[in-house]
Amino acid sequence: MTGGQIGNVDLVKQLNSAAVYRLIDQQGPISRIQVADVSNLAPASVTKITRQLLERGLIKEVAHQASTGGRRAISLTTECSPFHSIAVRLGRDVIEISLFDLSSKELARQSEAFSYASEAELVEGLMLRINQFLAANQSILKELIAIGVTLPGLIDPENGIVDYMPNIQVDKMELGQLVSEEFGVACFLGNDTRAQALAEHYFGVSKKYQDALLVSVHNGTGAGIIVNGQIFLGSNRNVGEIGHIQIDPLGDKCQCGNFGCLETVAANPAIIENVKKLLSQGTTVLLR
Ligand SMILES: [Zn+2]
């Protein structure tokens, strides 16, 4: 199929450009020759890709590296400040919006209570708040290139679809596409706990490790698994949904409809409820 082949060629080009950009981002300042060596791309391809990245203003040439004899090479590094992205953390009753540049420096942040009882309310409220945030930060805003949204539930990150949320009914909500159309930039959607695991891997405590497990106890209970430096999604994208593993068949009813899920015991509301119960029974609760 011709269309498919063209698609594949474009995809390969995109992946190669992304690989080169990533190398420059992570290992820069780095010379074109080093990029070709590490990426296993032909030097001519690296020259072409870096020219395109230079033209787009995504990378820049910097001072010469120390000479290793022969001709001195020019190094490349990423250009971070002219490009901005917005990160949204949507909780069950809160929304946090931040503005970042490409070096992941946070430039502005807004956090407020946000209740929504339906898919429509969620979408409307989210768009409104992002628009308000953009308006409030117009004076410092540079070129916006992407919006990332994390939220609780079962998310299909490849297609930007929300399949399940713990607090409202959703029907294959195409949130990624809606946000992308509203703001005219790419939108990346992800499960909050998995995104947190990825953030810890890129910037936090598990930075040094290729394999890591993050367990989060919040309004719910969830886990994010990093394998070989990549977030592990599993075939159903529900790996890490430990909150709904049944641990007590005679336990309390869970938001998901089942009984005795881990979340009915090990999540903030359940822990608070249990402490209150113990206190009312005269038990001394020791908090450490
Ligand atoms: Zn459950």
pLDDT digits (tens, 9 = 90+) for 59-86: 999 976 565 666 666 899 999 999 999 9
In Å, the largest CA–CA distance within the chain is 81
User: Mean pLDDT, to the nearest integer, of 168-182?
Assistant: 96
- CA separation for the pair 220, 217 (Å, rounded): 6
Report CA(241)–ligand 1 centroid distance (Å).
Answer: 9
Report CA(153)–ligand 1 centroid distance (Å).
Answer: 12
Domain contains 204: no
Report CA(276)–ligand 1 centroid distance (Å).
Answer: 22
Instruction: Flag whether pLDDT at 174 surpasses 90.
Output: yes
Tokens of 16: 């190669």
Report CA(244)–ligand 1 centroid distance (Å).
Answer: 4
- Same-domain check for residues 217 and 168: no
| Cα separations in angstroms, 87 against 83, 223, 228 | 13, 20, 25
- CA separation for the pair 238, 164 (Å, rounded): 10
- Same-domain check for residues 88 and 169: yes
Report CA(259)–ligand 1 centroid distance (Å).
Answer: 7
Residue where one domain finishes, among candidates 41, 62, 78: 78
- Same-domain check for residues 90 and 70: no
CATH number at residue 151: 3.30.420.40
Give the percent of the chain with pLDDT over 90: 75
- Same-domain check for residues 44 and 15: yes
- Same-domain check for residues 117 and 155: yes
User: Mean pLDDT, to the nearest integer, of 228-246?
Assistant: 85
CB neighbour burial string for 73-103, b if at least 16 within 10 angstroms, e if fewer: bebbbbbeeebbbbbbbbbbeebbbbbbbbe
- pLDDT confidence of residue 1: 44
Report CA(240)–ligand 1 centroid distance (Å).
Answer: 13
Report CA(242)–ligand 1 centroid distance (Å).
Answer: 9
Beta carbons within 8 Å of 97's beta carbon, 6+ residues apart: 86, 87, 88, 89, 109, 110, 111, 129, 130, 133
Percentages of the chain per state (helix, strand, coil), in multiples of 5: 35, 25, 35
Instruction: Flag whether pLDDT at 4 surpasses 60.
Output: no
- CA separation for the pair 206, 16 (Å, rounded): 27
- Same-domain check for residues 217 and 241: yes
Domain of 122? 83-199
Report CA(193)–ligand 1 centroid distance (Å).
Answer: 16
Domain contains 282: no
Report CA(288)–ligand 1 centroid distance (Å).
Answer: 28
Q: Which of 125, 129, 57, 135 is CA-nearest to residue 87?
A: 129
Q: What angle do CA 41, 42, 47 make, to 5 degrees?
A: 100
Which amino acid would we find at residue 120? Answer: A
Tokens of 80: 């971070």
User: Mean pLDDT, to the nearest integer, of 187-203?
Assistant: 94
Fill in the DSSP letter of residue 283.
P
The structural domain count of the chain equals 3
Domain contains 142: yes
Say what angle helices 2-27 and 43-56 make with each other, to 10 degrees: 80
- How high is the mean pLDDT of the chain? 91
Report CA(262)–ligand 1 centroid distance (Å).
Answer: 7
Domain contains 12: yes
- Same-domain check for residues 101 and 116: yes
- Same-domain check for residues 37 and 13: yes
Residue where one domain finishes, among candidates 78, 93, 113: 78
User: Mean pLDDT, to the nearest integer, of 3-26?
Assistant: 84
Residue 206: what are its φ and ψ, rounded to 5°? -100, 20
Tokens of 41: 């791309």
User: Mean pLDDT, to the nearest integer, of 96-124?
Assistant: 96
Domain contains 281: no
Residue where one domain finishes, among candidates 14, 49, 78: 78
- Same-domain check for residues 214 and 230: yes
Domain contains 236: yes
- pLDDT confidence of residue 166: 83
Beta carbons within 8 Å of 222's beta carbon, 6+ residues apart: 152, 191, 192, 193, 194, 215, 216, 240, 241, 242, 243
Q: Which residues surround ligand 1, an ion (CB under 5 A)?
A: 244, 254, 256, 258, 261
